Amino acid sequence: MDERRMVRISKYLAKHLRHQPERIGITLDANGWVEVDTLLTAAAAHGFPVSRAELERVVADNDKRRYVIDGDRIRASQGHSVAVDLDLPAAEPPAFLYHGTVARNMTAIRAEGLQPMNRHHVHLSPDRETATRVGARRGVPVVLVVDAAAMRAAGHEFRLSANGVWLADHVPPSFLRFP
Ligand code: HQG
């Protein structure tokens, strides 16, 4: 399978496992899972046939390990806009986490901190390089440092997704260090 096909399948999975399952007539369970067979049948019925081998390859080789297959089921590890409970345990973050954004968001972020926007959580990266890549999706990246240790001390919880993204409900501006 070439790289373009891999990316196309990954984007198709993101759309339907994170945002619009109803578009192909599937329903995610409370924790975001759907049967692999159900997904493949629905995709084929909606004009996007994917073989099981292709699906398994995309899940295994995905650059960010965005999807997990567990037995007969598949889900996205994070990034949802539909209501799912990923049921991730709270975890102890490193002292500092990083968030990549762009200059046009900074006025609002200075005022109200980091908000989940269209997703369920604020997404934080364990290192500056990853945060730089996240910000660069939208323009010239601006990397903010999050004082995760101080947030923990103040009672905020963090969760770690299966693919290494740190999730928080909100980051108040007092815990952000601006460049
Ligand atoms: C910004 C990708 C105004 C925030 C990436 C970001 C990541 C605010 C945008 C994952 C704000 C939301 C998530 C506020 C935050 N006012 N703007 N108060 N608070 N923002 O895409 O973190 O490829 O929902 O800085 O690699 O960019 O999908 O979040 O610019 O891991 O797997 O609002 O998505 O992964 O954008 O990216 P997003 P994100 P995938």
**Separation of CA 135 and ligand 1 centre (Å):** 8
Atom 32 in ligand 1: residue holding the nearest Cα: 66
Given a contact cutoff of 8 angstroms between Cβ atoms, the answer to whether 100 and 131 are in contact is yes
Report the C-alpha gap between 114 and 99 in whole angstroms.
Answer: 9
What's the confidence (pLDDT) of residue 63?
86
Taking 50 as the pLDDT cut, the residues of the chain under it are: none
Given a contact cutoff of 8 angstroms between Cβ atoms, the answer to whether 26 and 74 are in contact is no
**Separation of CA 122 and ligand 1 centre (Å):** 7
Atom 34 in ligand 1: residue holding the nearest Cα: 79
- Ligand 1 atom nearest to CA at 115: 19
In this prediction, the answer to ipTM > 0.85 reads yes
Kindly report the average pLDDT of the chain as a whole number. Answer: 97
Atom 26 in ligand 1: residue holding the nearest Cα: 134
- Ligand 1 atom nearest to CA at 138: 30
Tell me the pLDDT tens digit for each residue of 28-46. 999 999 999 999 999 999 9
- What is the reported pTM? 0.91
